[in-house]
Amino acid sequence: MTISYGALAGLIAAIAFLILVLFTIPMLIRTAKVLKETSATIQTTNESMKKLSEDMDGLMDQTHNLLDQTNDLMIDVNGKMKTLDPVVKAAADLGESVSELNDSSKKIAKRFSSNHFSHAGLVSSIAATAFARRRRRRGEN
């Protein structure tokens, strides 16, 4: 039996193809395993993302409620601040008046000390003024 060159070339090509298929089978099996693992990982990731999305929705609802309560609280605080404004203004005016009174007292004390009044002269002057007022009041009554 004689084999022609064409048949021999076909046989060599068939054997080469068989060897190629035999070497690709393990690689295809490994690729199938990797694809299964990848599919499982993607499925787990999808479930985790769904759970995370649900948790974020709950958190956003709670945040929304908290912001509403904060807005209500700020409205209440602003209203109370408006009622306190006159009190703060009155306290500022009182502080200003006390400061002016202190300045006037210092000026009077300085004037008395610069005139070099003696203690006796100052006391007698104050006493004379007090008695004069008392006499005037008695005369009016």
Residue 119 forms part of a structural domain: no
pLDDT digits (tens, 9 = 90+) for 88-141: 888 888 888 888 888 888 877 777 666 555 555 666 777 778 778 777 777 754
Asked whether residue 139 is domain-assigned, the answer is no
pLDDT in tens, 43-55: 999 999 999 999 9
pTM above 0.75, yes or no: no
Structural domain containing residue 93: 11-108
In-domain check, residue 43? yes
Tell me, yes or no, whether 20 lies in a domain.
yes
In a domain, 6, yes or no: no
Distance CA 100, CA 113 (A): 20
Q: Report DSSP state, residue 141.
A: -
- In angstroms, the first-to-last Cα distance of the chain is 165
The residues, ordered by sequence, that sit 6+ positions from 112 with a Cβ below 8 Å of its Cβ are 122
The structure tokens listed for 67 are 């912001």
Q: Tens digits of per-residue pLDDT, 54-97?
A: 999 999 999 999 999 999 999 999 999 999 888 888 888 888 88
- Could you tell me if residue 19 is inside a domain? yes
- Tokens for 107, please give them: 């000026």
Report the alpha-carbon distance of residue 12 to residue 95 in Å, rounded: 112
Domain membership flag for residue 89:
yes
Q: Count up the domains in the chain and report the number.
A: 1
DSSP string, 23-76: HHHHHHHHHHHHHHHHHHHHHHHHHHHHHHHHHHHHHHHHHHHHHHHHHHHHHH
133: in domain: no
